[in-house]
Chain A
């Protein structure tokens, strides 16, 4: 070709200027991954041994054992109760907390503590909250319910506050101009604007609480999780499999209901 080599290098550099910063970031990232994998003591050998054990493990899970179905149903029902009660209380509590955290309606003296509560509730995984409640108020579904109430506040109140912050203030002003009290303004001017979205958050949270209510039992918070954990401890893997199938089935049914609810309230 007629283009001399030095020119082509110039053109190439013009076309694809090497991004040294990007390359440095990628290199750093690759080094980190290798370092972290080393720190966690990942070795191929462990992996291979594990795969081998996994095969026998899977073999022992099948066929699932449904003989103790009464235990299974009991656990599932308790999980369901935990989820329903926690959702009801959690969503009710989220209303005032979300309102207090809305920066367009409240002074910062109120929003800052309300936001701190929300941040706290959001930062901890429900299981960690559950274990603290178990230690404080003892084993049983009460601890699970308290934990999931806390988790619900973190999610629903946050989204509720954000929804209120996005509303149109014109309607609020109009109602305030009629001389309505603060509660009047909230009920007539704010709630109608955010209610439909609030129902969306609530069904989402119900779904999420249902998932977590099957887990809080692992740390003693009641529900099917306890049954699952003890089955694991006793190496009762065929029963473990049955419990997992039951949990997944319940969660899927829950998801279907939540989707249907959202459609009904569109």
Chain B
């Protein structure tokens, strides 16, 4: 897909990929071999009928293509942008063997974008008089809510923040997922009948018991991953050391890049070090560039091959000038006399033997300590589940890490309460959406039997 020049795009928050023109789309769609036994579908966590939607596109019928997409996926404009297609559908494409797999994600985006403002939504028949509460308006919650709506249920989504979308709102930057794309998907769900109630922290503002007392037949907990992980090393709370979540929430949710027109401040550092190797680390590094940083270094403990971030994001980050420092682990943060971070003491690492579980040990190279000077550090080391809601519900069982335990239908230890997405352990937006859909099926079955 055509992309904007790295030297221009790194100065703004506009999208990196430009999207297909009609002729580019047609050319790509026609490459699909329309396999008799399509493997790509098996690579899709929500089971989209990929050859069918691509066929409609090859006939230049995006309206029909999007109807096929929306049978399985309530947020195609979002997923086309944030799914790691190269590890999912595109990986299983028969053409992948020749390294020429069909760009399914780009085609999905074309279908979703060109029809975004059309009135495509299915009219809901067979409406039921049963209310279901969803806790959290991120990918898992919206996927579950969308499916339950289509089944005819009355769906209310509770969100603790002042804007809906979860990680799609506060986490993923505009240059990867423009917020009007998200707003439009939310608008379409609302038109379908979903109710979204903001500023409501279930467990605190309203309890789970109160929800049942109000007549909800089932509850789906999709509160997402919660607390950012800190490395537990000296100096981690020095000034201008941020979690990636804080940095991204300030920029994406609070619009701090436009301070003082918006009230939330952000520190615009000249030299930034991001620690981590996932998509969030890439998002943070590239956001730092867009805030005006001159040098952005990304420090990762293993080699680039082990980075969990998508290849595309790694390439984009490097093109824009993010310097990768791999096989390096921070030992401590060093501050100045006013407690502002000024440097990181690091140590080189090397990958060791493979253990019997297939994991490679990481060993530190003694005597390899060195200093990286910096004005700001962003820690993108992952998240622990937020303990607040589970701790406030008697009988809701969590594992030793704090993830809610569920059965095969995603029902928790409490009847009628289901859970999915990062609060039960997951990694990507589409995986969370897959769990949301599964929970919707589970809820349907539960309500039939009770």
Do A and B assemble together?
A: no
- The chain B residues found within 8 Å of chain A, CB to CB, are none
- The chain A residues found within 8 Å of chain B, CB to CB, are none
